[in-house]
Amino acid sequence: MTTAPLPRRRLMPRWRDYGRPRELVVRYLLLLFVLAITVGPLLWQLLASLKSTSEDVFGANASLLPQHPTLRAYEAIFDQVPVATYIRNSMIVVVLSLASQLIFSTTAGYMLSKPGWKGRKAVWVVLAASMMFPFEAIMVSLFLSIRDLGLVDNLVGVWLPGFVGAINVLLMRGAFLAVPREIEDSAMLDGASEWQRFRYLYLPSAWGAIMVVVINTFISAWDDFLWPLIVLRSEHNMTLTLGLSRLQSSSFGYDQRLVMAGSVISIIPVLVLFVITQRWFYKGVSAGAVKF
Amino acid sequence: MATQTVKPVSVPGAEPTSAPGTAPSRLRRLARALLPGPAPGANGAALYRRWWLPWLWTAPALVCAAVFGVFPFLNTVLLSFTDAKPLGGAANFVGLSNYTRMLDDSDFWLATRNSVLYALIVVPLMVLLPLMLAVLVEKKLPGIGFFRSAFYTPVLASSVVVGLSWQWLLADDGLINTWLQKAHLIRHAIPFLSDSWLILFCAMGLTLWKGLGWYMIFYLAALGNVPRELHEAAAMDGAGAIRRFWHITVPGVRQAMMLVGTLTGIGSLRVFTEIFMLGSYTGGPGGADRTLPFYIRDVGLDPLTGNAGYGSAVSVALFLLTLGLTLLAQRLTKEDES
C-alpha cells in the first residue's frame, strides 16, 4: 500500500495571492505617498538636525540629506540650552501623573465595578459630570485655584489637575467588569480578602487596560503645552515642550539645528514606549474610543 | 480586612426585607437609603464589605473630579459675573456687564468665527480622510504593519514638535516654497506664515495631519464589522472600488463616522497649540487667527492686563458652543438610527 503524497503547501503566500498586480502597484504607490506625507516632515527634522554648521538648512542650496552627518547639534543643545533641566521637569510631571493615575484609577474603577454599595451612583454622576467640561472652558478657574494653593510656577501645579482622570476610571471599570463573577466567588470561599482579590485576581487580568492608562497618561503629560504655558513662569521650571517653543520664538537667527535636535529628543521616549506597547496601543483605541 | 469576618447575620442592611404583602414603611425605606451599609438587595462580597471601604477606594478619583472638574465649571459661571484678576486682589460683582461687553467685542466674534470655521472645515475632512486611509491599510499585505505604525507617528509627537516642523517647512525659505520655486510654479514665496487666512488653513492642515493616524486605527476596528461578502458580491456585479466605498463601506461604518464627527467637532473648538506655533504667540498678525481658547488665555490669564471675570464669560460661551454641538450630534445620531 502506498501513501498518497501530501499536497505541497507553500508556507509563504505568493505575490499574486494578494490580488491583481495593477491593484497592488496602485496600493503600494498610495501607501508610499501617504508615508511621505505623514513621516516626511518628522524625518526631515531628524535629517536637518544631523547637518553640520557648514550646510544650509533653509534656502535654495539646502540639500535633503546631510552631507557631513554629525551629532554636534545634540552635544551643543545640552551645552547651550538647559535641555537637561527641561527633560527632568517633564519627567517629574510624567512620573507623578503615572503614579497617581495608576493607583487611583484602578482602585476607583474596581469599586465602581462592584454592585451593592450605597453611593455608587453619586460617585458615578460626579465622575461623568467632570468629563463634560472641556479643559479650555475651565482653565481660568483652574488657574485661580492653583494660584490660591500657591502653586503658580510649580511643577506640582502642572500635575495636580491630571491627578486622576475620570476617563481612566471608566476604562479600568470596564476591564474589571469583564472578570467572571465565579472566579471571585471561589476566591472569596478560599478566604481571599478584598485587597488580595484586587491585587492577585483583578489587576493581573486587566493588564491591557492598565497599559492603555500608562500610554495615555504618558503622552498627555509629556506632550502637554497649554497648561504648563499658563502655570509655569521661570526657565528652571519649564517642561520640554515649553522650552522648545521658547527656544524657537525667543532667538531669531539661532542655530535651528539645535531646536531640531531638541524636537527629535522629545519624540524618542514616546516612540520607545510605542514600540514596546504597540499591541495595547491599538486595542486601547478601539476599547476606549474617547480621547481626542 | 473587612472580608475576614464571616458573620453574615449581623451585617447592617442585610436583613431580609419585610414579609411579602406588607410594604416597608416610608420611614424605614428612607432610613435604609440613608444609613451606611450595603445597598438593598446586595449579595456576595457586598455584604461583607465595611460601608466606608468603597468610599475610601473611590475618594481620590471623586475628589479630583469634583475639585478639578465640576467645581471649576461652577466657579467659572460665578466668576463671569465678577471682575476677578488672574493674580489676585478683591473681586467685585459686576452683574451682566462681562456678557454685554462680550457681545460688543469684535475680537470675541472673530475668535468665535475662527473656531466655528475650524470645526466646519476640519470635521468633514477628519471623518472621511482617515476612513479612506483605513480602507487602504485594511488589506493584509506584506509590510502593512510597518505602514500602519508609521502613519501613527504624528500622533505620538507633541503638537509643539509637529508645529516646529511645519513652521520650518512652510517658512518663506522653507522646503515647500523652495521646491515650488525650483519647479518654477511660483516666482515669489507663498506667505504661509504671515497671511492670516493661510495661517488658519495651515493650522487646520496640521490638525488633520496629526489626527489622521489616530482615527485610522479607530476606523480599522469598525471596518472589521463590515461583512466581506457584501464587497465580494458587489465586486462580482462589477462595482468599482469607489462605488463600493460609498455604497458599502460608508453605510457600514456610519456609527463610527458619527462618533468621529462628534469628537473632532469638540476637538476643533479646543484648538490652541497649532495657532500658537504657526501664528506665533500673538495668534496671527494682529491676533486675527485667535481661536476661542486662545482668546480666553489672552483676555483672562494675562498677568498684567488679564480679567479673569471676562475670560470666564468667554469660557461660558465656549462651553455653550461645545454643548450645542454635542446635542446636535446626539440628535443627528438618533435621527440616523430611526
Confidence class for position B178, pLDDT limits 50, 70, 90:
confident
Mutate to test the interface with B, among A12, A141, A158 (most CBs of B within 10 A): A141
Q: What is the mean pLDDT of chain B?
A: 85
User: Which residues in chain B have their CB less than 8 angstroms from residue A286's CB?
Assistant: 217-218, 220-221
Residues 181 to 200 of B: which have CB under 8 A from any A CB?
Answer: 181-182
Q: Give B12-36 pLDDT, tens digit per residue.
A: 444 444 455 566 678 877 777 667 7
Nearest to A119 among B55, B153, B308 (CB): B55
Q: Are B144 and A210 in contact (CB under 8 A)?
A: no
Query: Residue A292's pLDDT is what?
Result: 30
Q: Name the residue among B213, B211, B172 with its Cα closest to residue B190.
A: B172
Report the C-alpha gap between A247 and A234 in whole angstroms: 14
> Best residue in A46, A77, A118 to probe B by mutation, most B CBs within 10 Å?
A118
- Is A60 or B307 the better-scoring residue by pLDDT? B307
Contact indicator for B148, B137 with CB cutoff of 8 Å = yes
The whole-number pLDDT of residue B14 equals: 46
| Percentage above 90 pLDDT, chain A | 33
Mutation site, A51, A123, A144, A258, interface B, largest B CB count within 10 A: A144
Q: Which of A30, A27, A9 is nearest to A19 (CA)?
A: A27
Question: Residue B39 gets which letter from DSSP?
Answer: P
ipTM field: 0.85
Amino acid identity for residue A81 in this structure: V
The rounded radius of gyration (Å) of the Cα atoms in chain A is 26
Three cell numbers, residue A57: 538648512
CB distance B137 to B144 below 8 Å: yes
C-alpha cell at B168: 520650518
> Please, which residues 140-179 of chain A have a Cβ atom closer than 8 Å to chain B?
140-145, 147, 160-161, 163-164, 166, 169
Nearest by CB to A116, from B46, B53, B266: name it.
Answer: B46
Of B46, B69, B157, the CB nearest to A133: B69
Read off the pLDDT of each residue in B5-9 and give the average, rounded to a whole number. Answer: 46
What residues of A are in contact with residue B79 (Cβ under 8 Å)?
Answer: 140-141, 144
Domains of chain B: 20-79 (no CATH), 98-337 (1.10.3720.10)
Q: Distance between CA B289 and CA B278 in Å, rounded?
A: 10
pLDDT (0 to 100) of residue A288: 45
Average pLDDT score over residue span A146-155: 91
> Quick one: pLDDT at residue A252?
46
Size of interface A-B (CB pairs under 8 A): 320
- Shortest distance, CA A78 to any CA of chain B (angstroms): 18
Distance from CA of A262 to the nearest CA of B (A): 9
Report whether pLDDT(B4) > 60.
no
Architecture of the A77-288 domain: Orthogonal Bundle (1.10)
Strand partners, B93: B82
Share of chain B above pLDDT 70, in %: 89
The answer to whether B149 contacts chain A (CB < 8 Å) is yes
Who among B46, B139, B158 is closest to A266 (CB)? B158
CB B183 within 8 A of CB A251: no
Measured between CA atoms, the residue of chain B closest to residue A272 is B156
pLDDT, tens digit (0-9, with 9 covering 90-100), for B179-232: 888 888 888 888 888 888 999 999 999 999 999 988 998 888 888 878 888 888
* pLDDT tens per residue, range A21-44: 888 888 899 999 999 999 988 888
Whether A127 sits inside 8 A of B46 (CB atoms) is no
CA distances from B17 to A198, B6, B26, B35, B146 (A): 31, 21, 13, 15, 61
C-alpha–C-alpha distance, residues A183 and B259, integer Å: 35
CA distance B221 to B137: 12
Task: Answer whether residue A276 shows pLDDT above 90.
Answer: no
Of A289 and A3, the one with more pLDDT? A3
- CB-based contact, A253 to chain B, within 8 Å: no
- Tens digit of pLDDT for each residue in A180-223? 888 888 888 888 888 888 888 888 888 888 888 888 899 889 98
The pLDDT of residue B324 is above 90: yes
For chain A, the average pLDDT equals 84
Q: Where are the domains of chain A?
A: 18-70, 77-288
**Per-residue model confidence (pLDDT) at position B7:** 45
Enumerate residues 88 to 127 of chain A having a beta carbon within 8 A of any beta carbon in chain B.
100, 103-105, 107-108, 110-112, 114-120, 123, 126-127
Altogether, the residues listed in chain B come to a count of: 338
C-alpha cell at B110: 472673530
Task: Report the alpha-carbon distance of residue B143 to residue A125 in Å, rounded.
Answer: 46
For B238-273, the pLDDT digits (tens) are 777 788 888 888 888 888 898 899 999 999 999 999
Q: How far apart are the first and last CA of chain A?
A: 67
| Inter-chain CB proximity B322 and A137 less than 8 Å | yes
Beta bridge partners of B38: A117
pLDDT at A114: 85
pTM for the model: 0.85
Contact (Cβ atoms closer than 8 angstroms) between residue B291 and residue B272: yes
| Mean pLDDT lowest among A60-64, B91-95, B330-334 | A60-64
Residue A75: HSE in the Cβ half-sphere, 13 Å Cα cutoff = 5
Name every chain A residue with its beta carbon within 8 A of the beta carbon of B167: 248
**So what's the pLDDT on residue B18?**
47
The verdict on B21 touching A (C-beta cutoff 8 Å) is no
